[in-house]
Chain A
Amino acid sequence: MKAMLIDTTKCIGCRACQVACKSWNNLPGESTRFSETWSNPRYLDADNYTRIIFREVTTPEGDLRWHFISRRCMHCLTPACASACPVGALKKLPDGPVVYNDEICIGCRYCMMACPFQIPKFEWSKAIPLIRKCTFCADRQAMKQEPACSASCPTGSLLFGERDQLLKEAHRRIGMHAGRYYPQVYGEKTGGGTSKLYITGASFETLGLEHRGFRTDLGDVPQGMYGREWMAKVPWVAVAVGGLCTGLYYLNKRRDEVQTRQGKED
């Protein structure tokens, strides 16, 4: 299965990935604005599938250090969105990408509620809106090309490859450069594992992103499993309740009949 290793310590914040993503997906450009976050655009939305979050964090030694964290769909191994979608418009492909089908989506937005990384976005400005999110360039992958973002990355911060090999590489880097990395691969087990693997210079709590798309309280169980477990019980509940109700209905009927007969005999 394909995956991407995102080594944020190698990112210089040039945003070539954002530009490449926009060109490949034919997304409209928009005028940018200054804000206290430095990041542009400020949020992911239906026209922005990826963006770099700029973070300036004080190290324990008191120095200021920049972190550039690329944010996009995590392409979960067991995606909550795919478990949530009532019509199966979102699917995890065997090769890795989580893709969306424009033709069958009903626009209920349950995927947006369910996604633990808050990735699916809605075309709010359109009269006939659809969900939009990073596709892991499934169309490019089908042509044996790597995703537009990693192809454009000048520093190798975005590394495309096989998931198991990238995991090995991530742990190799963490082991080689003690102190350079926070010793955890975000996405290895997070939310049941994802196809985007992050190694960062500091924990996501230190970066202040644990409530901004990089939750650290998800555990190793994919969120969608809670719904799947519920659905596994549903048929049994239906049979049990149905059987009980039918039985009691006929019992009551029979009791009434007996009672009326006794009433007549009296």
Chain B
Amino acid sequence: MFQYEKIGLGRAILIGLAALGVIAGIYRLFAGLGATTNLSDAYPWGLWISFDVLTGVALAAGGFTISAAIYVFNLKKYEPLLRPAKLSAFVGYLVFIVGLFFDLGQPWRIWHPMIMWNPHSVLFEVSWCVMLYTTVLAIDVFIWTLERWRKYEWVAFFRSIYVFLIVAGIVLSTLHQSSLGALFLLLPEKMSTLWASPAIGILFYASAIIGGMGMVILESLLSARAYGRKPEMDIISSLAKGLGLALVIYFAMKVTDLYARGVAVWGFDWPHLLFYLELFGCVALPALLLYFPEVRTSTRGLLWSAGLAAFGVMLNRFNVSLTSYGGYRDFWYFPSFIEIILTVGLVAAAILIFDLGMRYLPMYPELTAPAEAH
């Protein structure tokens, strides 16, 4: 009972923040982008694109990563992590879509890419993949709802097309996670050479997998703590090992890319400092930490290393889309109060929806329902 009330306070704060976000969103719709944001002709994209869109999607990559690990690479031991990972992916994409809605100049035209096609546009492909993938994730959540309602004949129907959903999820994620990086293929001259790479699509894909794994570890540990469960430490440790490996591979990719392009990597200005923080502080350091079994088996060690890795992915998205874009003209951008409040509100709402799903949907099927008996 005490435990429940403690979470209750946290929820009250989250609900308050989400409500503030709603107010900020309504104000933005009526006042317009210019009045509510610090965006300008020199900085057309700001916090909402860097965080809500690029970071949100990258950190929601856990759903397809775990799904691929289980069904494609046959690592069945990760099955207990699958549903929470997919739920957080679904919530992440909802945040992305709502964030994008407020960022668009004409939000009610958000559906236009469905019927107005430009097959040459990377952003066109991203919007289609995101629409379809969110639908796939929504079907997943719907299946769990059916399980909760004990509509097993319906569940059986969805199981029969399950392979299609899995493959579609992986294909769509592969395409749009990399294509979000490919958006920046068109503007190399406006970016710092540290990030303006022709390989940016593949780098985005690899780092999204890192972000997804990091987030799955974080949310497994944190939700276990919040709901007073024991975390599945052996599975999480094994996933952390995978994360360490992914970080090493990503580090090698980054170094190869920089070397192949002959980039001047040593310098002492803002881009370089951010670059060092990203590559050494948030890729190399967590990889090194995860090398030690003591770190992989301790909750604190896992929280730190997975947190660093996920933060590194966020930093990378900000560096590519925002800090690297700076210095092009004599202008400066820092998000406005409304931009920050709306983003904070979105994150709060995401945690609330995730919490709702965790409490009311069968997230650990082997523990809750005889759903497998179809």
Q: Which residues of A pack against B, CB within 8 Å? A: 43-45, 80, 82-89, 104-110, 112-114, 116, 118, 121-130, 211-212, 215, 217-218, 223-224, 226-228, 230-231, 234, 237-238, 241-242, 244-246, 248-250, 252, 255
Sort A-B residue pairs by CB-CB distance and give the 9 closest, nearest first: A107-B105, A124-B34, A127-B32, A88-B118, A226-B185, A112-B44, A109-B44, A86-B123, A86-B124
CA distance A211 to B326 in the complex (A): 13
Complex interface: chain A residues within 8 A of B118 (CB): 82, 85-88
How many residues of chain B have a CB within 8 Å of chain A?
59
Q: Which residues of B pack against A, CB within 8 Å? A: 30-35, 39-41, 44-45, 68, 71-74, 103-107, 109-110, 112-113, 116-127, 163, 166-168, 170-171, 174-175, 178-179, 182-183, 185-190, 198, 201, 328-329
The number of inter-chain residue pairs (CB within 8 angstroms) is 186
Residue of B nearest to A226 (CB): B185
Complex interface: chain A residues within 8 A of B73 (CB): 248
Are the C-beta atoms of A128 and B106 separated by less than 8 Å? Answer: yes
Complex interface: chain A residues within 8 A of B105 (CB): 105-109, 122-123, 128-130
CA distance A252 to B167 in the complex (A): 14
Complex interface: chain B residues within 8 A of A124 (CB): 32-34, 39-41
Given A106-B109, A107-B104, A245-B166; A228-B120 close (CB under 8 Å)? yes
Complex interface: chain A residues within 8 A of B124 (CB): 86-87
**Nearest CB of chain B from residue A37's CB, rounded to whole Å:** 11
- Which of A85, A212, A217, A245 is in CB contact (< 8 Å) with B189? A217
**Nearest CB of chain B from residue A199's CB, rounded to whole Å:** 23
Are the C-beta atoms of B201 and A230 separated by less than 8 Å? Answer: yes
Given A112-B44, A124-B33; A227-B189 close (CB under 8 Å)? no
Interface centre among A105, A127, A217, A252 (most CB of B within 10 A): A127
CA distance A104 to B103 in the complex (A): 16
Are the C-beta atoms of A238 and B167 separated by less than 8 Å? Answer: no
Are the C-beta atoms of B171 and A245 separated by less than 8 Å? Answer: yes
Complex interface: chain A residues within 8 A of B182 (CB): 227, 230
A-B contact pairs, 21 of them (CB 8 A): A83-B120, A84-B121, A84-B123, A87-B113, A88-B118, A104-B116, A106-B112, A109-B45, A113-B190, A116-B189, A122-B33, A122-B34, A127-B35, A129-B32, A223-B188, A227-B186, A230-B122, A230-B185, A230-B201, A242-B167, A249-B167
Complex interface: chain A residues within 8 A of B126 (CB): 86
**Nearest CB of chain A from residue B331's CB, rounded to whole Å:** 10
